[in-house]
Amino acid sequence: MEHYPMIETAPRIDIYMTRNRFCGWLWNFFLGVHNENFHLVHHLFPKIPEWEYDNVHHILMKDETYASLHKKL
């Protein structure tokens, strides 16, 4: 889900190859462990520990390109 359909349509640049996914509490309870909902943050900064993803996401939201890719599912 986090890579489709972007692989077909996006330029080959990391920021366009995946997305963050923010869903309801039930999704996060089962599939959002370890802050996996910050999938784009993980791809952009793979060495940052998962407990920092929320902080990084808030900093990145100041960037126009990153913010334009952020959508709630």
Quick one: pLDDT at residue 73?
Answer: 43
By the 8 A CB rule, do 59 and 42 touch?
no
Compute the mean pLDDT over every residue in the chain, rounded to the nearest whole number.
74
In a domain, 46, yes or no: yes
Quick one: pLDDT at residue 56?
Answer: 94
In a domain, 51, yes or no: yes
> With 90 as the cut, is the pLDDT of residue 49 above it?
yes
CA distance 4 to 46: 20
Residue 52: which of 43, 41, 61, 68 has the closest Cα?
Answer: 41
- Summarised one tens digit per residue, pLDDT across range 14-45 is 566 677 776 777 877 776 667 778 888 888 88
Domain range for 12: 6-69
> With 60 as the cut, is the pLDDT of residue 48 above it?
yes
In a domain, 59, yes or no: yes
Q: Using alpha carbons, list the distances in angstroms from residue 70 to 13, 14, 73.
A: 16, 14, 10
Tally of domains in the chain? 1
In a domain, 1, yes or no: no
By the 8 A CB rule, do 43 and 17 touch?
yes
